Amino acid sequence: MTPSQTLITLFIFSILSFSHATTAPPKLPKPKAIHLPIRKNQTTSQYYTTFVSGHPESPTIIDALIDLGSPSVWFDCTSYVSSSYNRIACGSSKCKKAKGSFSCLTCDSTPRPGCSNNAYGIFVYNPNPNYLTIQELGEDTITVYSTDGAYVWFSYDAPKFQFACADSVTADGLPGHNTKGLVGLARNENSLPSQLSSYFKLAKKFTLCLPSSSENGLGDIFIGGGPYYMLPSIEDQSLSLVTTPLVFNPNGPRLLSDGELSYQYFINLKNIEISGKHVAFSPSLLSFDINGVGGTKISTTIPYTILHSSIYKSLVQDFIKESSLKKIKRVQSVAPFGACFDSKTAPNTITGPAVPNIDLVLEGSNVRMRLYGANSMVEAKKNVICLAFIDGGVEPTTSIVLGGHQLENYVLEFDLTASTLGLSSSLLLKNTSCSHSRVY
């Protein structure tokens, strides 16, 4: 063949393949990562996501509370209609894998999702009224979106996704009138990221970017790893994360199974510094005792970090001292906060009010999470900003529970294979945030 014949052959071939492509629907490429949005309810300071569940012809949009500490996905099935829903039968291999309860459920009324016979029951937890119950395990197709780290692209079906089809009582107390379920992100096989990573054959990692407000853009759950673009910054945030080990609480909550590791996310906080100076408290509070008491946990359902009383008292005292050196005027406290200031004496900067920095020093070489004013302070009323930490009393199970306000506008990458937490510096320093539109 001469070069021109080759060209013609190629040309004809491309016409043929093009006409073929117009008759059959194009096959989508395998997604490199999955994205779910995060909204924040300002009244309750809770974060929730949205996904679509059910047969494509009768899809139901589900708003669900995000809970790092919960092992399952569940929603109120009272009005859920889907022809592709199946309950998981008692004694099946899927039951064993789900590691739920030892219960087999029956239902007397008209069968529907959530009211089946011979249905396997799993534990379902609602953190708001602190309610634990056993509900029907089922599976159905959910629809999620792929991402390139900057925009969301195509929708993909994830069939046989497992969740609990719960009764309406279980969903009572969830924040927001539309939130009717919960998305568990814990480190077990049935959590949302584990199921999606496994179905789409993605890396076993997920990433949170919690927004301080979702009025002008939404936050992110990325499943499967980076890149992570936080426009207008053109930097890939996955390249500049520092990492600290995710540690196991020897006696933390676990699923029913021998030798199972606890499923919540603990990190090894080594000390706290304010303006570079150590906050004094007993180091033993930072490790676990034989009953699993102590240590540091990350939570998305607690709005403000809760500290063991003795850590709290030192932190407040040292913060007041360092603030007075900066001529920040103290005013009467607004409950539940212990130290409040006149915001006019702490001028606003790109990272929030100009108050002393609080560094959380973590295991690893020079790993610290630096909290600036935007994350350490909260506006309690007009012209009054308060140190946004809560006194957890003298006998909390966990000494430090890092809460949502302190995690906002950071990239937090949970790598379940390496068992590490990857952490960015505050996105506010880079003139960006966790609030974005990712619709191309």
Ligand X SMILES: *[C@@H]1O[C@H](CO)[C@@H](O)[C@H](O)[C@H]1NC(C)=O
Q: Which residues are at the interface with ligand X (CB under 6 A)? A: 41, 43-44, 175-178, 431
Q: Cβ of residue 178: shortest distance to ligand X, in angstroms?
A: 6
Q: Which of 296, 220, 307, 254 is nearest to 70 (CA)?
A: 254
Sheet strands side by side (includes 367-371): 277-278, 269-274, 358-362, 367-371
Q: Cβ of residue 8: shortest distance to ligand X, in angstroms?
A: 53
* Tokens, residue 189: 């096989």
Instruction: Please count the other Cβ atoms lying within 10 Å of the Cβ belonging to residue 390.
Output: 18
Cα torsion 399, 257, 100, 33 to 10°: value is: 70
Q: Cβ of residue 384: shortest distance to ligand X, in angstroms?
A: 23
Query: Which residue, 180 or 254, has its beta carbon nearer to ligand X?
Result: 180
By beta-carbon distance, which residue lies closest to ligand X?
Answer: 176
Query: Which residue, 9 or 431, has its beta carbon nearer to ligand X?
Result: 431
Q: Cβ of residue 214: shortest distance to ligand X, in angstroms?
A: 9
Start-to-end CA distance of the chain, whole Å, equals 44
**H-run or E-run covering 46:** strand 46-53
Query: Which residue, 116 or 237, has its beta carbon nearer to ligand X?
Result: 237
Q: Cβ of residue 427: shortest distance to ligand X, in angstroms?
A: 12
| DSSP secondary structure letter of residue 193 | H
Q: Cβ of residue 40: shortest distance to ligand X, in angstroms?
A: 9
Query: Which residue, 59 or 176, has its beta carbon nearer to ligand X?
Result: 176
Round to whole Å and give the CA distance between 164 and 113. Answer: 10
Q: Cβ of residue 179: shortest distance to ligand X, in angstroms?
A: 7
Q: Is the distance from CB of 315 to CB of 396 less than 8 angstroms? A: no
Query: Which residue, 22 or 43, has its beta carbon nearer to ligand X?
Result: 43
Round to whole Å and give the CA distance between 109 and 397. Answer: 41
**Element counts in the chain: helices (H) and strands (E):** 7, 30
Round to whole Å and give the CA distance between 386 and 432. Answer: 24
Query: Which residue, 43 or 365, has its beta carbon nearer to ligand X?
Result: 43
Query: Which residue, 20 or 177, has its beta carbon nearer to ligand X?
Result: 177
